[in-house]
Chain A
Amino acid sequence: MADTDHTRRTFLGLAGGAAVLGTVPVVIVRPVEATPAMLQTAIRNVVGEANVRTGKVKLDIPPLVENGNTVPMTVSVASPMTADDHVKSIHVFNEKNPQPNIGNFHLGPHAGRAQISTRIRLADSQKVVVIARLSDDTFWSATVDIVVTLAACTEEVI
């Protein structure tokens, strides 16, 4: 099932990309893209050698994005936000933008609710990874696959 899903998304991504290329006659030279290896390095820079587990974190972001220049996203973490058990920071990464980092958000028990929202840029159909660091220094993550039809960062400045 997971494989089928992945294939369909990959196909949709390619189809979307082909549609965009079809309508734009100018050949666009893409900037250097972050690779999954760079994504792993960026994540290791934050978590060190710690184990990153899936769960607790929820990433709300549209699965199909028309305009990659501004993509609204909300990250929420299931946490009581007490002095003993709270979210220290939330880190957002991507797979294929020129840089793997999107943003780091530092909060504390005073926040009351572990939730942040912002708007991001996505240069391609790709994965967005969110990692939350809790007060006991455990790391929890969520990953979402996103299809982008109009990519950010590649247009020319007139």
Chain B
Amino acid sequence: MPSALINVPPKAKRGDVIEIKTLMSHIMETGYRHTASGEVVPRDIITSFACRYNGTEIFRADLYPAIAANPFISFFTTATESGKFEFEWIGDKGFSETASASITVE
């Protein structure tokens, strides 16, 4: 069952630089591991992550198998107005998850 953890400060002053931390539960199977019988375990990773702030994309990442399981990504943004952050993870085998967080800017 996929689940996301998002950490966005609930309040900020206008112009503050805030940190956004995200974690999505995912196995991030590299496609380079073998079972005991020698079969390759097929790749199953998140390939793309994006964050939108009131509809505008502010951060995007392309992920490769070298990103650890349960991808943790943190980045910064400037708090300009109250609103909503929307997060989206897209991956192999049709994986697609979204999450959102609200912020009040004073």
Contact = CB atoms under 8 A, between A and B. Distances in A.
Q: Do A and B bind each other?
A: yes
B78 A112 contact: yes
Contact of A103 (B30, B33, B64, B78): B64
A69 B56 CA distance: 34
Given A69-B68, A119-B71, A113 B62 contact: no
Question: What size tier do the contact residues of chain B reach?
Answer: 20 to 34
B34 A156 contact: yes
Interface residues of A, number: 37
13 contacts: A69-B68, A101-B64, A103-B61, A110-B78, A111-B17, A111-B76, A113-B76, A117-B74, A117-B75, A120-B68, A121-B66, A153-B30, A157-B36
Interface of B: 17-18, 30, 32-36, 41, 53, 56, 58-69, 71-78, 80
Interface of A: 29, 31, 69-71, 94, 97-99, 101-108, 110-122, 152-158
